[in-house]
Amino acid sequence: MTETLLRIDTSARHEGSVTRELGDRIEAKLNAGKIIRRDLADQVIPQLDAGWLHAAFTSDEERTTEQRDHLALSDRLIAEIQEADTLLLTVPVYNFNVPASLKSWVDMIARAGITFRYTESGAVGLLDGKRAILAIASGGTEVDSAIDHATPWLRQVLNFVGITDIQVVRSDKQAVDPEASKARAETDLENLAA
């Protein structure tokens, strides 16, 4: 049983979404004591702008009220991750990559000094000890193929902030071979540790 699960849905579709369906099945298998939900189709995460960047690179004690307001959503999103033991990201592959909403979410949570820090030997993630499960679906892109810019990027981002225990449940290439896609998902679900 997972203690606290942070579920992040990214599909623009609520009905007929393979990733949301996979997410439901994974969530049931994990049987979390507490679930934090964030649906990026329902809440638009703004892109970074000059005000946000200036606020993020101003020391906490020197930030103005306006700068704190710029970072308020970022602070909430980071607090959700910090509280979670497991992250479940349900991600359709749109045009070989993640939905733009997920990229905006990543930009909000990758904060120097909070989720990672720089050292002489490079960046060190500060969110270690957590697990991530990626539920990935695509029409024609094979997970981890040369044209998949979603799955490797997500692994890189999660590793960057310290999350290295990452499992993938995939239902890829649905438009190419729906039965094989479904079979891959079933195998991945069976192999997923609760």
Q: Provide the CATH number for the domain formed by 4-191 in this structure.
A: 3.40.50.360
DSSP-derived pairing of the beta strands 131-137 and 122-125 = unpaired
Residues 176, 180, 184, 189, CA torsion sign: positive
In this structure, the number of other CB atoms found within 10 A of the CB of residue 77 comes to 20
- Supply 34's token pair: 């507490």
Q: Round to whole Å and give the CA distance between 166 and 137.
A: 16
Q: Answer for the pair 29, 111: CB distance below 8 angstroms, yes or no.
A: no
Return the closest-CA partner of residue 12 out of 35, 42, 32, 33: 42
Tell me if 11 is assigned to a ligand binding site: yes
Which tokens belong to 30?
């994990």
Please report, in tens digits, the pLDDT of each residue of the chain (194 residues total). 679 999 999 999 999 999 999 999 999 999 999 999 999 999 989 999 999 999 999 999 999 999 999 999 999 999 999 999 999 999 999 999 999 999 999 999 999 999 999 999 999 999 999 999 999 999 999 999 999 999 999 999 999 999 999 999 999 999 999 999 999 999 999 999 87
